[in-house]
């Protein structure tokens, strides 16, 4: 199987869907050369720097029979388009009584590690998770990137594809052929029996590294990747926690009202899962600050494999 990067897996997904369906087209402020070469400027539409308007245009085009893909690059720029996302795309299928579908894929890179400071290092997915009418995906591997993004483009609803800055260069096996990863299905990235670590995006990779460390200490870690943040696959997470009896959530975003909080609620509000738990749930998240620039500061704010391992030890020693 060919190995490609996370970033190229995203480009491949879009190219495959554009070949498959002539109604798929992209709005972007800077075109990806390979896509522009293959599909031309009508379908790879380079816009003026007008995120609010081209995102709103995607709503109008979707309501007129197209499947636009809106690429803001960084989620930072997507904030300029909050009206068409929040007030329009997520709501008008419902508000108009379901008479028209609005298939739109939003693509936005999230997370830190880029030394670009607060405006360009953001993980605001929980801000979007409670928008009813919006699905939110966040792949952690090149394989999931291609499969989830293709599923997003085929979905008849607005889907937010958050994509991790840290993982853009990560290589992994990605089949050339057509496949989709279903939206709303978590994936067990490593099986274990002593503790469940739910990781999000880059934190899946860090959790896998921490699991190796803990293995040497005789601890068997199960790593669960939700892959879709909304709707969240609570069943898979709860089943894992019932098996291991312990839960740690690792997220590059801050903890406050975060995806991590939602995951812990989904597990602990279920009586069976709660009964099976041998220790309180634990979170390893970013500190609640805007992301600073200097590497010393940035590294201090973000969680990593060492902090996950420390967290696992803390959960295991709790009683």
Asked whether position 130 contacts other proteins by CB under 8 A, the answer is: no
Figure out which of the listed residues 156, 176, 178, 269 binds other proteins, where binding follows CB under 8 A: 156
Active site residue 51: yes
Give least dist CB 130 to other proteins, A: 12
Choosing from 16, 120, 163, 262, the catalytic residue is 120
Residues near 19 by beta carbon (within 8 Å), at least 6 away in sequence: none
Tokens, residue 244 = 């291991």
Ramachandran angles phi, psi of 94, nearest 5°: -70, -50
Asked whether position 212 contacts other proteins by CB under 8 A, the answer is: no
Indicate the angle between helix axes 259-268 and 234-244, nearest 10 degrees: 60
The nearer residue to other proteins, 38 or 299, going by C-beta atoms, is 38
Closest CA to 49 of 68, 74, 66, 24: 74
Ramachandran angles phi, psi of 218, nearest 5°: 85, 20
Q: Is the dihedral of CA 172, 177, 183, 189 positive or negative?
A: negative
- Binding to other proteins in span 15-44, by CB under 8 A: 25, 42
Longest dimension (CA), the chain: 61
Give least dist CB 225 to other proteins, A: 23
Tokens, residue 90 = 């997520």
d(C-alpha 122, C-alpha 291), whole Å: 7
The nearer residue to other proteins, 72 or 143, going by C-beta atoms, is 72
Figure out which of the listed residues 15, 36, 57, 116 binds other proteins, where binding follows CB under 8 A: 57
Q: What is the dihedral of CA 83, 87, 92, 93, to 10 degrees?
A: 100
The nearer residue to other proteins, 103 or 113, going by C-beta atoms, is 103
Active site residue 282: no
Binding mask 60-79 for other proteins (x = CB under 8 A): xxxxxxx-x-----------
Asked whether position 46 contacts other proteins by CB under 8 A, the answer is: no
Asked whether position 106 contacts other proteins by CB under 8 A, the answer is: no
Stretch touching other proteins by CB under 8 A, among 93-101, 172-180, 258-266, 296-304: 93-101
Asked whether position 84 contacts other proteins by CB under 8 A, the answer is: yes
Q: Do residues 233 and 226 touch, judged by C-beta distance below 8 A?
A: yes
d(C-alpha 66, C-alpha 50), whole Å: 20
Binding mask 272-301 for other proteins (x = CB under 8 A): ------------------------------
Choosing from 16, 51, 222, 252, the catalytic residue is 51
The nearer residue to other proteins, 42 or 296, going by C-beta atoms, is 42
d(C-alpha 1, C-alpha 25), whole Å: 28
Specify the residue for token string 């108009």: 96
d(C-alpha 183, C-alpha 153), whole Å: 11
Stretch touching other proteins by CB under 8 A, among 132-140, 200-208, 256-264, 270-278: 132-140
Asked whether position 56 contacts other proteins by CB under 8 A, the answer is: yes
Give the residue numbers marked as catalytic: 51, 120
Site of interaction with other proteins (CB under 8 A): 25, 42, 47-48, 50, 52-66, 68, 83-84, 87-88, 92-103, 132-133, 135, 156-157
């Amino acid at each position: 199987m060919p190995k490609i990067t996370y970033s190229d897996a995203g480009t491949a997904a879009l190219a495959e869907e554009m070949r498959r369906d002539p109604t798929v087209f992209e709005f972007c402020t800077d075109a990806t050369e390979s896509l522009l070469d293959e599909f031309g400027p009508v379908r790879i539409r380079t816009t003026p720097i007008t995120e609010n308007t081209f995102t709103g245009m995607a709503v109008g085009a979707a309501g007129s029979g197209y499947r636009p893909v809106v690429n803001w690059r960084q989620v930072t720029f997507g904030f300029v388009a909050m009206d068409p996302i929040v007030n329009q795309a997520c709501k008008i299928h419902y508000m108009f009584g379901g008479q028209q579908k609005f298939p739109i894929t939003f693509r936005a890179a999230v997370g830190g590690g880029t030394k670009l400071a607060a405006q360009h290092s953001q993980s605001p997915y929980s801000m979007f998770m409670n928008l009813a009418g919006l699905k939110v995906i966040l792949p952690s591997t090149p394989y999931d990137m291609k499969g989830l993004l293709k599923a997003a483009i085929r979905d008849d609803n607005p889907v937010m594809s958050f994509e991790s800055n840290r993982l853009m260069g990560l290589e992994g096996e990605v089949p050339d052929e057509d496949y989709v990863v279903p939206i709303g299905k978590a994936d067990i990235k490593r099986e274990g029996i002593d503790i469940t670590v739910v990781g999000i995006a880059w934190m899946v990779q860090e959790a896998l590294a921490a699991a190796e460390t803990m293995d040497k200490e005789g601890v068997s870690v199960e790593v669960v990747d939700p892959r879709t943040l909304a709707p969240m696959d609570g069943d898979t997470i709860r089943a894992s926690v019932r098996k291991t009896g312990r839960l740690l959530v690792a997220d590059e975003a801050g903890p406050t009202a975060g995806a991590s909080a939602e995951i812990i609620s989904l597990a602990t509000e279920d009586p069976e899962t709660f009964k099976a738990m041998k220790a309180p749930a634990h979170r390893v998240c970013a500190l609640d600050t805007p992301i600073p620039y200097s590497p010393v500061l940035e590294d201090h704010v973000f969680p990593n494999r060492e902090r996950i391992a420390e967290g696992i030890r803390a959960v295991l020693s709790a009683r």
